[in-house]
Amino acid sequence: MIAFRELHDVDVESIVALWKRCELTRDWNDPHKDIKFARDGKTSTVLVGIVAERIVASVMVGHDGHRGVLYYLVVDPVFQKRGFGKAAVAAAEAWLRERGVWKINLMVRSENEKAGRFYERLGYEVNPVTSFGKRLDGA
């Protein structure tokens, strides 16, 4: 059984290590900065999944006042194939519903076909839109 709660200060290094083990981090995204930004915001947080007092999953969740987003969804490889990823999505969706959010926009890197299939199994679908981005930090 897995239970989700918000990330505590003492969890940060464990989560960063988990994200790195699972190759979620990218050179241009500082995970510490991302965690701090999510936790400092009024419309975002990081949820961690706990099994036997051990962090085995995480999902960053937030919203823009209209639509929700999920980032950094991960399950420790030792604990995969137990439904914990699905439970992480459910915890994030519940967090958003509690705040009145009715839709999630989700971005998956196009080369990550495994993640795309995972979300499709949970009822997510590809929307006919093009996602644009622009860095504001000069990176």
Is residue 34 a contact partner of residue 60, using CB atoms and an 8 Å limit?
yes
Can you tell me the distance from the alpha carbon of 49 to that of 75, in angstroms, rounded to the nearest whole number? 8
> Environment class of residue 139 by beta-carbon count within 10 Å: exposed (0-12), middle (13-18) or buried (19+)?
exposed
Per-chain mean pLDDT for the chain: 93
What distance in Å separates the CA atoms of residue 84 and residue 63, rounded to the nearest whole number?
22
Give the confidence band of 137 by pLDDT, cuts at 50, 70, 90: confident
Residue 26: pLDDT band by 50, 70, 90 thresholds?
A: confident
* pLDDT value at residue 19: 93
Superfamily of domain 3-121: Gcn5-related N-acetyltransferase (GNAT) (3.40.630.30)
Task: Map out the domains of the chain as residue ranges.
Answer: 3-121
pLDDT in tens, 36-85: 999 999 999 999 999 999 999 999 999 998 899 999 999 999 999 999 99
For residue 112, pLDDT over 90 is answered with no
